[in-house]
């Protein structure tokens, strides 16, 4: 019988396939081997955690996120070696609620850390983050971690609300914003803007903010010229003192929140002016922290996350930052208020990538808790997802939506690439606009939220309304922790 050429090919292919099956049958992967592979993946994951949080840094303020004159070589390198997230959100557009969201993995409306009366906590505020909340630091403590908070806290300055009462072994920092405890009123004479252009604004004595170690005030006013540098030094000291055991470090810079201050080495250097000086000093500090991790042999064993608490303070004109191509800034529920330049770095376990999936600071609670094997609280509604599959397995983010609150009211919702605004308001004005038909934007096509497509897509609005209904069904608002002052 004559065998045609194509038949030989088939016979060869069938034989090879059969041999492969035979080989697999003779060499089955044992359960132990499967487990071992999973174990190896687990073993390679970082064991230490560092969050570096800037204050009022805009989406467009790093060179790797498009700023033409601010030089951030260390953050840029971090972004090129790790994951650069372009759709990463904070839980609110101003300091206190945003920080509460990061710490608790919950929308601040659930624990009362947001308010329609005062948008943030002040030095005369009575309350802070309730003890009934579980913080990310408390989760790490349950896993035996050493924990430190360095920098701005802004979740209550009384002893029962300080970091040392919320899961941190130690605290060093200014407990609220660096423009507080002002000794002359901002609004007079000559109004808000004239103050920010005045000579007094350049004097650290104008802002009588305390610097604390644990629960004691050690310096007042804090020397803000050297504050970024000193926070960095504290961070490095903490890393070196704890290199033998697992640690969680929360390094929350007070800058580039106005008033801007930089140390002598940085002041006057940046082509972007004083704002650029402060960002470049933070960038330098990030480089030093990463170098300290490398020197301690911990760079392959540490996950470092860099982001900011809210968008740029545009009201401050040239002293405020930039949201780049995003609309508006701090205080608003437009993208510029809540989308932040974000980097995840863990050389050896995170492969370099640009991630366009949605993530949030609220996801860090869930992700870190799962990584250290501590259960997520089941007695309350949590708002985080586990980012582990995106970070370590090149899979999709489980987060598909984002809720944009102002105070205790839901202003906008993102579902997939679409965002609907039900209410809009300028960041620092009283007028509120309710939209019977919400404004609708496709954020992939139109990240600047310029082109309202609501009329063309009623079905998408319907879908987003259904998500809002589901969200509202589980919503219990916490008592307002920010309203009582004086
Ligand atoms: Mg802020």
The string of pLDDT tens digits covering residues 147-164 is 999 999 999 999 999 999
**How many whole angstroms separate alpha carbon 43 and alpha carbon 125?**
45
Near ion ligand 1, which residues have CB within 5 Å?
A: 55-56, 95, 309-310
What is residue 38's predicted lDDT score, i.e. its pLDDT?
64
438 C-alpha vs ligand 1 centroid, how far in Å? 28
Active site residues: 95, 154
Bridging pattern class, strands 302-308 and 247-252: unpaired
Going from the Cα of 282 to the center of ligand 1, the distance in angstroms, rounded, reads: 15
Tokens of 119: 């948008």
- 309 alpha carbon to ligand 1 midpoint, in Å? 5
* Closest listed residue to residue 148, CA positions, set 128, 123, 173, 129: 173
Report DSSP letters for 266-318, one per residue.
TTTT-TT-HHHHHHHHHHHHHHHHHHHHHHTT-GGGEEEEEEESS---GGGGG
Domain 403-473 architecture: 2-Layer Sandwich (3.30)
- Give me the chain's average pLDDT, please: 92
Measured at the CA of 95, the angle between CA 203 and CA 113, to 5 degrees, comes to 135
Residue 222 CA to ligand 1 centre (angstroms): 18
For residue 157, what are its two tokens?
Answer: 């300055």
Q: What is the pLDDT of residue 64?
A: 98
Using the mean position of ligand 1's atoms as its centre, give its distance from the Cα of residue 9 in Å. Answer: 68
Q: How confident is the model at residue 131 (pLDDT cuts 50, 70, 90)?
A: very high
Q: Which two tokens stand for residue 352?
A: 């370099």
Contact predicate 146/169, CB 8 Å: yes
**Rounded Cα–Cα distance for residues 318 and 297 (Å):** 41
- What is the DSSP track for 142-189? HTT-EEEEEE---S--SGGGSGGGTT-SEEEE-SS-TT-SBSS-TTTT
CA 168 to ligand 1 centroid distance, Å: 21
Contact 373, 143 (CB under 8 A): yes
Q: How far apart are CA 260 and CA 254, in angstroms?
A: 9
Interatomic CA distance for residues 342 and 432, integer angstroms: 30
Q: Give the Å distance between the CA of 381 and the centre of ligand 1.
A: 25
Per residue in 272-316, pLDDT (tens digit) is 999 999 999 999 999 999 999 999 999 999 999 999 999 999 988
CATH architecture of the domain covering 47-399: 3-Layer(aba) Sandwich (3.40)
Q: Do residues 313 and 281 touch, judged by C-beta distance below 8 A?
A: no
Angle at 339 between CA 333 and CA 342, to 5 degrees: 160
Angle between helices 227-241 and 274-295 (to 10 degrees): 10
Is residue 19 pLDDT above 60, yes or no?
no
Please give the angle made by the CA atoms of 474, 480 and 481, to the nearest 5 degrees: 120
Per residue in 374-433, pLDDT (tens digit) is 999 999 999 999 999 999 999 999 999 999 999 999 999 999 999 999 999 999 899 999
First to last CA, the chain: 102
- d(CA 180, ligand 1 centre) in Å: 13
> Bridge partners of 420?
413, 440
Provide the pairing of β-strand 409-415 with 418-425. Answer: antiparallel
Does residue 260 contact residue 319 with C-beta atoms inside 8 Å?
Answer: yes
Residues 282-319 as b/e (b if ≥16 CB within 10 A, e otherwise) read: bbbbbbbbbebbeebebbebbbbbbbbbbbbbbbbeeb
Note the pLDDT of residue 319: 92
- Rounded distance between C-alpha atoms, residue 328 and residue 322, angstroms: 9
CA of 96 to the centre of ligand 1 (A): 8
How is the chain split into domains, by residue range? 47-399, 403-473
pTM of the model: 0.91
pLDDT confidence bin for 42, thresholds 50/70/90:
confident
Peptide bond into 210 cis (omega under 30): no
- Rounded Cα distance between 62 and 78, Å, is 12
């Amino acid at each position: 019988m004559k065998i045609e050429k194509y038949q030989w090919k088939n016979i060869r292919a069938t034989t090879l396939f059969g041999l492969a099956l035979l080989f697999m049958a003779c060499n089955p992967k044992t359960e132990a081997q499967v487990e071992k592979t999973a174990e190896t993946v687990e073993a390679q994951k970082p064991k230490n955690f560092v969050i570096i949080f800037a204050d009022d840094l805009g989406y467009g303020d790093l060179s790797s996120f498009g700023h033409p004159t601010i030089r951030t070589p260390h953050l840029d390198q971090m972004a090129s070696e790790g994951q650069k997230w372009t759709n990463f959100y904070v839980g609110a557009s101003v300091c206190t609620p945003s920080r509460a969201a990061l710490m608790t993995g919950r929308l601040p409306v659930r624990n009362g850390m947001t308010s329609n009366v005062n948008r943030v906590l002040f030095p005369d505020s009575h309350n802070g983050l309730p003890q009934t909340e579980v913080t990310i630091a408390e989760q790490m403590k349950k896993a035996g971690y050493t924990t430190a908070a360095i920098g701005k806290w802004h979740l209550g300055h009384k002893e029962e609300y300080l970091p040392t009462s919320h899961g941190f072994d130690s605290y060093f920092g200014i407990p609220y914003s660096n423009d507080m405890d002002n000794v002359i009123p901002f609004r007079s004479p000559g109004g808000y803007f004239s103050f920010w252009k005045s000579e007094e604004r350049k004097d650290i004595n104008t802002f009588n903010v305390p610097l604390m170690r644990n629960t004691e005030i050690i310096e007042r006013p804090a020397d803000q010229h050297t504050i970024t540098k000193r926070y960095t030094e504290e961070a490095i000291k903490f890393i070196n003192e704890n290199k033998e055991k697992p640690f969680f470090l929360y390094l929350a810079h007070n800058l580039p929140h106005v008033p801007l201050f930089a140390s002598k080495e940085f002041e006057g250097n940046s082509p972007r002016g004083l704002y650029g000086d402060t960002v470049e000093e933070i960038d330098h500090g990030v480089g030093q922290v990463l170098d300290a991790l490398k020197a301690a042999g911990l760079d392959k064993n540490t996950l470092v996350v860099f982001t900011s608490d809210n968008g740029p303070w545009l009201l401050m004109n040239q002293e405020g930052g930039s949201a780049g191509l995003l609309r508006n800034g701090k205080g608003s529920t437009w993208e510029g208020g809540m989308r932040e330049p974000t980097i995840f770095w863990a050389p050896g376990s995170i492969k370099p990538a640009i991630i366009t999936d949605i993530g949030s600071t609220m996801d860090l609670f869930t992700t870190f808790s799962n990584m250290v094997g501590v259960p997520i609280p089941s007695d309350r509604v949590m708002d985080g997802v586990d980012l582990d599959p995106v970070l370590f397995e090149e899979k999709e983010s489980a987060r598909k939506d984002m809720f944009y609150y102002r105070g205790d009211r839901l202003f906008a919702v993102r579902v997939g690439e679409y965002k609907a605004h039900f209410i809009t308001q300028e960041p620092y004005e009283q007028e509120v606009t309710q939209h019977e038909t919400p404004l609708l934007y496709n954020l992939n096509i139109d990240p600047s939220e310029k082109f309202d497509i609501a009329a063309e897509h009623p079905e998408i609005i319907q879908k987003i309304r259904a998500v809002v209904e589901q969200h509202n069904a589980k919503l219990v608002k916490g008592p307002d922790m920010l309203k009582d002052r004086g």
